[in-house]
Amino acid sequence: MIAVGLYVHVPFCRTRCGYCDFNAYAGLDDLAPRYVRALAAEASLVAPAWGDARFTTVFVGGGTPTTLPPTSLERLLAELRAILPIDDDAEVTIEANPETVDEGSLGRLRAAGYRRLSLGAQSFDRVVLARLERGHDPDAVGRAVRAARRAGFDNVNLDLIYGVDGEGLASWRETLRATIALGPEHVSAYALTIEPATPLGRQVADGLRPAPDPDVQADMYEQACELLGAAGYRHYEVSNWARPGFECRHNLGYWRRHPYLGLGAGAHSARGPARWWNLRPPRAYLASVEAGSPPVGGAEELTSEQIELEERFLRLRTREGVAPDGLDPAVVDGLVDAGLLERAPAGLIPTERGLLLVNELVLALVPQRPRAPATAG
Ligand code: SF4
């Protein structure tokens, strides 16, 4: 049996944030009932190919999965468990935006078997939230975390974004303090990146909004390392911190290059050298599944050299590090001297500065940089 991660993509959102390039849509709620049925139908279509698998993690992401009513999310997990061999003690995560949940809905999700809640907090500064076009105010995050605790969630992640225009170091520090005060088990903090095909990307290209300042973002990253580290969170991947034992098992699977199955519009899958991805537009995805065809939109096969490079790239994103075999000792010495790598019994581990400069680290250690698998949500 092989351990596999299951990703389930829900592409619906209440509104569309200007910076977002995920496969997510506002105003398609009328498709939701068909879409939930299609997820189960797709699972049935692909299940025979995964007969030797046991699913150790499930991640229901998006989009905003909690735009679906609790009844649909209860049924979805029950149907997936009936179709696919999902471990009884699997880590089952659901993503949510604070304004889409309350104690009642979270209690139903917890009772249905969702064990880990990932909340899109992003910031505790209402100016920053407005710039991001988020649909919640800072108080909503605290309300959602407290509701999650009362509903029985003992594994909560808060997603944060830093480097938004108008956000200074003091604002970011307050966001980190407010995050820590809520006591989540896990924190993900991402530097805002400008995607050209988004409304924000076009505004930046037209000079209407400034691009993030990489020096300010580097300072913000260092603040996150400092404050989260001092509060007992272990920095285990470029953008992820966790209390010991609460590292996200699902995402660790991606970084360890374990196989994963993606269900839903645009979801990616990987097994051995093969990678494939589903049709991205929800209507095209639905049409394919409803016609009884796996909704595959494309596929590729990696060479053994590409696999080796990808493994090294992914491991350098984490504190698990890489074995020194095959690396140029002079290059390694230079990276150790520059404070980007440290030697440990397990191999070469990126320092916090090395994680910040992971792309430079990878370029120095490998002749070319392969693509990381997509993680939507
Ligand atoms: S950032 Fe999140 S909530 Fe906003 S549109 Fe994208 S997926 Fe939806």
CATH code for the domain of 185: 3.20.20.70
Q: Which of 10, 12, 19, 20 to mutate to test the pocket of ligand 1 (most atoms within 8 A of CB)?
A: 20
- Segment 115-121 shows an average pLDDT of 98
232 shares its domain with 359: no
- Segment 333-340 shows an average pLDDT of 95
215 shares its domain with 332: no
Q: Among the atoms of ligand 1, which is closest to the Cα of residue 97?
A: 3
> Nearest Cα to 39, choosing from 94, 81, 89?
81
pLDDT digits (tens, 9 = 90+) for 192-251: 999 999 999 999 999 999 999 999 999 999 999 999 999 999 999 999 999 999 999 999
Of all residues in the chain, the percent with pLDDT exceeding 70 is 97
Question: Model confidence at 308, in pLDDT bands (50, 70, 90)?
Answer: confident
Q: How far apart are CA 165 and CA 149, in angstroms?
A: 33
Where helices occur in 6-84 by DSSP H, the ranges are 32-46, 70-83
pLDDT for residue 210: 95
Question: Model confidence at 312, in pLDDT bands (50, 70, 90)?
Answer: confident
Task: Please tell me whether residue 370 adopts helix, strand or coil conformation.
Answer: coil
Evaluate whether residue 85 is within a structural domain. yes
Of all residues in the chain, the percent with pLDDT exceeding 90 is 89
12 shares its domain with 93: yes
Evaluate whether residue 54 is within a structural domain. yes
228 shares its domain with 323: no
pLDDT for residue 367: 57
Distance 75 CA to ligand 1 centre (A): 24
pLDDT for residue 376: 38
> Nearest Cα to 176, choosing from 235, 103, 101, 244?
235
Evaluate whether residue 229 is within a structural domain. yes
Question: Model confidence at 5, in pLDDT bands (50, 70, 90)?
Answer: very high
pLDDT for residue 374: 44
Decide whether any atom of ligand 1 lies within 6 Å of the 17 Cβ.
yes
Residue 377 clears pLDDT 50, i.e. is over it: no
pLDDT for residue 375: 43
Structure tokens at 182: 């809520």
Task: Please tell me whether residue 197 adopts helix, strand or coil conformation.
Answer: coil
Lowest mean pLDDT segment, chosen from 284-288, 294-298, 305-309: 305-309
96 shares its domain with 230: yes
Residue 340 clears pLDDT 50, i.e. is over it: yes
15 shares its domain with 107: yes
Distance 204 CA to ligand 1 centre (A): 19
Angle in degrees, 0-180, between the axes of helices 103-112 and 70-83, rounded to the nearest 10: 10
Beta strands in the chain (DSSP E): 2-10, 12-13, 25-26, 53-62, 86-96, 116-122, 156-162, 186-191, 234-237, 240-242, 260-263, 268-271, 274-278, 296-301, 341-344, 347-350
Residue 368 clears pLDDT 60, i.e. is over it: no
pLDDT for residue 363: 86
Q: How far apart are CA 266 and CA 298, in angstroms?
A: 10
Evaluate whether residue 239 is within a structural domain. yes
Last residue of a domain, which of 204, 228, 254? 254
- Any residues with CB less than 8 A from the CB of 13 and at least 6 apart, and which? 24, 25, 26, 62, 63, 64, 67, 97
Residue 2 clears pLDDT 70, i.e. is over it: yes
Last residue of a domain, which of 197, 232, 254? 254
Segments forming the whole domain that contains residue 377: 319-377
End-to-end CA distance of the chain: 28
Element (H, E) at 55: strand 53-62
Residue 91: strand pairing partners = 57
What residue owns the CA closest to ligand 1's atom 6? 20
115 shares its domain with 227: yes
pLDDT for residue 57: 98
Question: Model confidence at 326, in pLDDT bands (50, 70, 90)?
Answer: confident
Token pair 């190919």 is found at: 49
Q: In the Cβ-directed half-sphere of 154, how many Cα atoms lie within 13 Å? A: 1
pLDDT for residue 96: 98
Residue 5: strand pairing partners = 57, 260
38 shares its domain with 143: yes
Average pLDDT value over all residues in the chain: 94
Q: How far apart are CA 313 and CA 329, in angstroms?
A: 18
Residue 50 clears pLDDT 50, i.e. is over it: yes
Residue 59 clears pLDDT 80, i.e. is over it: yes
- Segment 323-337 shows an average pLDDT of 91
**Hey, how many other C-beta atoms are within 10 angstroms of the C-beta on 113?**
17
Last residue of a domain, which of 203, 225, 254? 254
Query: How wide is the angle at C-alpha 60 spanned by C-alphas 164 and 309, nearest 5°?
Result: 70
Task: Please tell me whether residue 211 adopts helix, strand or coil conformation.
Answer: coil
pLDDT digits (tens, 9 = 90+) for 154-199: 999 999 999 999 899 999 999 999 999 999 999 999 999 999 999 9
Q: Which of 64, 66, 141, 192 to mutate to test the pocket of ligand 1 (most atoms within 8 A of CB)?
A: 64
Evaluate whether residue 308 is within a structural domain. no
- Any residues with CB less than 8 A from the CB of 139 and at least 6 apart, and which? none
Evaluate whether residue 271 is within a structural domain. no
13 shares its domain with 125: yes
* Number of domains present in the structure of the chain: 2
Q: How far apart are CA 297 and CA 265, in angstroms?
A: 10
Decide whether any atom of ligand 1 lies within 6 Å of the 97 Cβ.
yes
Task: Please tell me whether residue 115 adopts helix, strand or coil conformation.
Answer: coil
